[in-house]
Structure formats: structure tokens, C-alpha cells
Structure 1
């Protein structure tokens, strides 16, 4: 038998044959599979059988469909990550990191976090943290029957929430441009991302309507400090989106309120009083530090029950020492004051930078969050390359976009709150100089 020939008479046999060829190296990343009609003729099977085989392969992550380009063998592709760029001598202005000097000191809280050992079979959530988290989220979702689940950060929460509700190849609505971790989570889970455009008021109504018409089973939304744009849901936009979701009460709505205690904007929600499947996720990494991998997810009771099955003691629970440490900090008035001051600091630094950039001919408005989203007259990639020659490493909007075929981005996402006065002036001058069209 020719080692590169696909065989089989059923969808499962055909899919297994392609997987075997891939595992032996006869089919490699990027190799095109025969068109469905051609494969059906070759194997003397019904066309629907060939379609089902390719669907099984796509659900397993072995192939990807690229429209007119056909179906090709998938591969593990390098993807953009948040944080500092590795091995760079350039001044990194695209990290998305909080200021380490604005993260509260843990020393006092550590002593309060030490307690008796927690053993197998005990509740996976510290009762005191559960009560504190419930009071925190009830302020913003007072009309819902909330249950609390504790996870290892917001990304872990979103991954678990999708896994308990969806099957591979299900469609998920994502903001466009989108937070990198959300893109990775959906891609790695084998779900289909459906882009919903974001403007200054958050997800657009037409965009979400189109996503719902496309059959999305979950929506991931950032109600404020949207990353990368800094957009925050306005009351009017939130009301429009809630009205749209009235007809889709069982679509899982996940709100990632990652900036929560640092935010300078009021919280608005897509989760209406009658919505049946929802989760409000709040992590502590932006104000207590990225190494504090803890988030609380406030969900409807059924979603909480499903999540509980995925939190078994001794394997996937969150350390009770970490839970107590977070509780100790969130119960300390001085720490809460530090967090509030940090939020004001980020807002003031971003607003000042945006105002000065506007004076230099690049109109910019500061949204909420750690970063600035800057519109450019030309392609962001070209501007970023020019900035590199001057010692700066910036992120372009291309990294945050969804879809394979997109027009080049005209935006940069910059993290400028930690620049020294000298660095700030130099970056402002360099941006104004390189962003405009050259003669």
C-alpha cells in the first residue's frame, strides 16, 4: 500500500487514516488534503462521508479549513504572549504589566495566611474568602442567584467555563480586537472564534447580533478596561446588548472584569435579570500581582455545579494558603487604599501621555486600563519598525486581531505608565516623528 494514500470507507476510518499519515510524517503541517469531492470519488464513498471525516479531523485539531485554500494539516504556531519580550535589548513599551512598585507588599498578609493544614475532602473554597467574594460581586449583580467558584486566575476560569458548556468546534463570540489570552484559550480548546467588533462603548450591537445569528454558544466580554482598546461598556450600549440577549437566555455570557478594583469606570453588564447562563470573573493579578494566580467566578447555580466537578481536592483546587493570602490583603484597609491609589495613578499617567501625544498631532484618548490604544495615520507595522530603530519595542494592533485575512492594523498598544519623565518625553517625540507619512 502506498504510504501516502488516504484509505477508509467510513468517516471514522478515513479520519484515522489521515491521522496515521500525519503521525508517520507522510503528511506535514501545511500539506493540503484532497478536496471533498475528489476524496469521495477516490475512495468510492458518499460525499457526506468525506465531509464528516474532515469534520472529525477539524474537531480533533488535526486539520484546519481555509475556505478556497482548502483543508490543510494544522500545526503548532507561535502566538503572541502578554508580558515582556524575551531576549530584547529594546525598551519594551508593550508589556501590559502593572507597575511592580504599585503592587502591595505581602509581608503583613503572609503571617495572617498561615493556618492549620487543609486536608483532602475539605471544602475547596475558603469560607471567609467565599463570603468576601460574594459581597464583592453582589454589588454589581444584585438580582441574580450567585454561586462562587475560585480558580487559578481568570484564564483558568474562562477555560473551565467553556469546557463545561461547549464541545469542540462550537462557536464563541470574542471581542475584536481581543485580549491575547482569550484568543489562545478559544483556539487551544478547539472552538471557533466569531469576531464581534469593539468601539469606544464596547461590543457593537450589530456585531453581537451577527454572532448570535451565527450560532455562538458563548460570549466572552470585557465590560471595562477592554484589552487592548481600553473601551468600557456605556450604560446605553449595555442596555442594547441585554435586550438583544433576551431571546438567547441560554448562551453562556462570560464577563472578564480583570481591572475591577483599579478601574475608574462604573461596571455595566450584559447579564440581564432573566439570563440563565452567566459568569462574572474577577482576578486579582492586576492589583495584587500576576503571580497571585487567583480569580473568583460568580455564576448561575447550574454552571457552578458543573465547575465543581472540575475542581477535585488535591489536583485542581486553588491552594488555601493562596486563598487566605488574598483574603488577608482584601481585608486590609491600607492595601485597599494602595489599590485605589494605583488605579488613579494608571489613569492619570495614561491621560497625561494621551494629551501630550494629541498636542504633537496624534489625537489620542485614554481609555481605562493599563495601556493606551493609539490610532495612527499609517500602518502600525511600519511605525513599530521605525520605533525599533530608535530603541523602542511596541505592540501593533495586528497581534490582537481575529481572522486570517485582515487589513493591516493602524493601531499601537503601548504601556507607558512606568516610563521615567525623560523616557516619556523621548517616546512622545519619537512617536510624533515616525508616525506621520515620510516625504
Structure 2
């Protein structure tokens, strides 16, 4: 048998053969695989079997489908990440980070976080934190049975929620443009992302309806401070989306309310009173700091039971020291006052920057969240390149696009709330000039 020949009679056998060829170096990055029909004829299998094999390989990241260019062996490619760009000498204005000066000091809470040791077999959730979390979410999910699960941040919560409800290749509805971590979570889990357009009021009704009709098994939505656009669900939009979801009560709805403690907008929900599978996720990373990797997930009882199976005592639980530390801050009036002041600060700084851009001929609306979503009259990459030559590192909207890129993005996502007044004025001058 030729050592470079693909073999197998089932999808899994064919996929394993390609992986073996890749591991031995017989197939290298960029090498083209045979077209589906050709491979099926070569192996004497049904065309659908060859399609399924290539799908398994794509999910595992071994191959990449390039449309008419065929299927090629994939290489290791860099993916966009949130946070500061490593090793850059430029002023980074695309970080998505909170202002470290607005993160409460942990010193006072540390002493209360150290209690008696917690041993294997004990409850995974601190009872006092569970009570505080229930008070945090119950008013926003009135009349619905709610159970609390504590996870290592919002991304961990979403990953666990999808894993307990979905199988590989199941479809998930995501906002488009989309939060980078959600894109990565869905792709790494082997799920299929179905884009739902976002406008100033959140997910569009037609977009969600189309996603549900295509068979999505889960919907991930940001009810306010959508990243990257800053959109927040309006009452009318939320009601319309609930009406669409009413016909699909067993589709898992995950609301990532990541900005809840800092948001200046009221909370609206997609979760209707009769919906059966739901989760409202609230984290403390934006308000108490990214290193405070803790989120609470308020879910229906069945989902809570499934999540509990994935939070084993002593292995995958969230540290009780971290839980006590978060609880100490959530019950400290001085800390809560700092958080509220930080929320107002972000809103005011973004609004002032947006107003000045608008005055200079770049109409911009400050919505909610840490960032500004700036519409440009020319391609964003052109503007970003021009800004780079002036010492700024900006993030284009291309990185957040989930659907097919029919044309280059005309948006920048800017993090400007931490700029001093002189730097903000200089950036506005440079941005207006770069956008000409």
C-alpha cells in the first residue's frame, strides 16, 4: 500500500488515515486533499461518508475548507485574543481592558477570605455566596425556578453550559459581530456557529428566527454592553425575541450579562416565562478585575443538575478562597460604591470621546461597555495602518466578524476610557486625519 494513500471505509477510518498521514509528514500544511467525489470513488464509499470524514477533520483543526479551492491541510494559525498586544511599542487602544485604577483594592477583603480549610466532598458553592448570587439574579428572572452554579468566569460558564447540552457539530447561534471568546469557545468545542446580525438594539428578530429555523440548539446573547458594538437590548426588541423563542422552549438560551455591575442600561431578557432551558451568567471580571475569575450562572434546575456533574469537589470546583474573596467585596458598601463610580466613569469618558469624534465629522454613538464601536468612511484596515504609523495600535472590526466576510470591515473597536485628555485629543486628531 502506498504510504501516501488515504484509506478507510467509514468516516472515522478515513479521518484517522488522513491524521496518520499528517503526523508522519506525508501530508504537509497547505497540501490539497482530493475532492469529495474523487475520494469517494477512490475508496468505493458513499459521497456522504467522504463529506463526514472531512467534517471530522475540520472540527479537529486538521484541515480547512476553502470553497472552490478545495480542502487543504491546516497549519497552526494565530487567532485574535482580547487584551494587550504582546511586545508592542505602540499605544494599544484596542485592549478591551478595564482601567486598573478603577478596580477595587483587595487588601481589605483578603483577611476575610481565609477561613477554615474546605475538604473533598463538601458543597462546591459557598452557602453565603449562593445566597448573595440568588439575590443578584432573582429580581431579573421573576417567577422562574432558578439554581446557582459558580464557575471560573463567564467563558468557563458558557463552555460548561454548551458541553452539558450539545454534541459536536451541533449548531449555536452567536451574535455577529461577536465577542472573541465566544467565537473561540464554539470553534474549540466542535460546534457550528450560526451568525445572527446585531444592530443598535441587539440581536435582530429575523436573524434569530432564521437561526432557529436552521436548527440551532443553543443561543448565546449579550443583553447589554454587547462586545464589540456596545448594543443593549431594548424592551421592544427583547419582547420580540422572546416571542420568537417561545416556539422553541427547549433551545438553550445563554445570556452573558458580563457588564452587569458596571452597566448604565437596564437589563432586558430573552428568557420567556415558559422557556425550559436557560442560563443567566454574570461575572465580576470587568468590575473586580480580570484576575477575579468567577461567575455565577443562574439556570433552570435540570441544567443546574447537569452542571453539578461537571463541578466535582476538589477537582473542577471554584476555589472557596476565591468565592469568599468575591463575597467580601460584593457585600462591602465601599467597594460597591467604587464599582458604581467606575461604571459612570466609563460611560462619561466614552460619551465625551464619541461626542468629539462626531463634532469632527465621524458620527459615533457611545452605547454601553468599555469600548467604542466607530464607523469609518473607509476600510478599517487602512485607518489602522495609518494610525500605526502615528504610534497607535487599533483593533479593526474584521476580527469580530462571524459570518462570511463579503467586504472589509469599516469599524474600529477602540478602548479609550483610560486616555488622559491630551492623549485623547491627539488620538482624535490622528483618527480624523487617518479616516480621510
Fold similarity call, TM over 0.5: yes
Q: How does 1:61-100 map to 2 (within 5 A)?
A: 61-100=61-100
Instruction: State the 1:97 CA deviation.
Output: 0.6
Q: How does 1:308-387 map to 2 (within 5 A)?
A: 308-387=308-387
Distance 1:361 1:46 in 2: 59
The answer to whether the aligner puts 1:103 opposite 2:108 as a matched pair is no
Instruction: State the 1:107 CA deviation.
Output: 0.9
* Contact in 2 for aligned 1:61/1:190 (Cα 8 Å): no
> Which stretch shows the higher mean deviation, 199-208 or 28-37?
28-37
**TM superposition score normalised by structure 2:** 0.98
Instruction: State the 1:196 CA deviation.
Output: 0.6
* Contact in 2 for aligned 1:360/1:432 (Cα 8 Å): yes
Distance 2:353 2:10 in 1: 62
SS of 1:365's partner is: coil
Distance 2:128 2:102 in 1: 26
Q: Which residue is 1:9 aligned to?
A: 9
* Contact in 1 for aligned 2:102/2:342 (Cα 8 Å): yes
Distance 2:49 2:258 in 1: 45
* Contact in 2 for aligned 1:241/1:270 (Cα 8 Å): yes
> Which stretch shows the higher mean deviation, 68-77 or 136-145?
68-77
Instruction: State the 1:272 CA deviation.
Output: 0.3
Instruction: State the 1:314 CA deviation.
Output: 1.4
The answer to whether the aligner puts 1:213 opposite 2:213 as a matched pair is yes
Distance 2:399 2:156 in 1: 22
Q: Deviations over 1:140-164 (max 9, x none)?
A: 1112100100000001000111111
Q: Which residue is 1:284 aligned to?
A: 284
Q: How does 1:87-166 map to 2 (within 5 A)?
A: 87-166=87-166
Distance 2:53 2:421 in 1: 60
Distance 1:43 1:343 in 2: 61
Q: Which residue is 1:32 aligned to?
A: 32
Q: Which residue is 2:402 aligned to?
A: 402
SS of 1:261's partner is: coil
Q: Which runs of 5+ in 2 are unaligned?
A: none
Q: Which residue is 1:41 aligned to?
A: 41
SS of 1:260's partner is: coil
Instruction: State the 1:56 CA deviation.
Output: 3.5
Summarize the Cα distance change of 1:31–1:328 in structure 2 as closer, same or farther, 3 Å threshold. Answer: same
Q: Which residue is 1:264 aligned to?
A: 264
Distance 2:56 2:396 in 1: 35
Q: Which residue is 1:167 aligned to?
A: 167
Distance 1:372 1:166 in 2: 34
Q: Deviations over 1:305-342 (max 9, x none)?
A: 11111111111110000000000000001111111110
**Number of aligned positions between the proteins:** 436
SS of 1:97's partner is: coil
Distance 1:394 1:48 in 2: 44
Distance 1:188 1:195 in 2: 17
The answer to whether the aligner puts 1:54 opposite 2:69 as a matched pair is no
Distance 1:369 1:262 in 2: 8
Q: Deviations over 1:287-318 (max 9, x none)?
A: 00000000000001111111111111111110
SS of 1:298's partner is: strand
Q: Which residue is 2:225 aligned to?
A: 225
Q: Deviations over 1:174-210 (max 9, x none)?
A: 1011111001111111111111110000000111111
Distance 1:61 1:157 in 2: 24
> Which stretch shows the higher mean deviation, 417-426 or 69-78?
69-78
SS of 1:279's partner is: strand
RMSD: 1.2
Q: Which residue is 1:181 aligned to?
A: 181
Summarize the Cα distance change of 1:56–1:393 in structure 2 as closer, same or farther, 3 Å threshold. Answer: closer
* Contact in 1 for aligned 2:176/2:403 (Cα 8 Å): no
Distance 2:351 2:389 in 1: 26
SS of 1:141's partner is: coil
Summarize the Cα distance change of 1:352–1:227 in structure 2 as closer, same or farther, 3 Å threshold. Answer: same
Q: Which residue is 2:247 aligned to?
A: 247
* Contact in 2 for aligned 1:172/1:191 (Cα 8 Å): yes
Q: Which runs of 5+ in 1 are unaligned?
A: none
Instruction: State the 1:407 CA deviation.
Output: 1.0
Instruction: State the 1:404 CA deviation.
Output: 4.6
> Which stretch shows the higher mean deviation, 284-293 or 36-45?
36-45
Q: Which residue is 2:197 aligned to?
A: 197
SS of 2:210's partner is: helix
Summarize the Cα distance change of 1:278–1:375 in structure 2 as closer, same or farther, 3 Å threshold. Answer: same
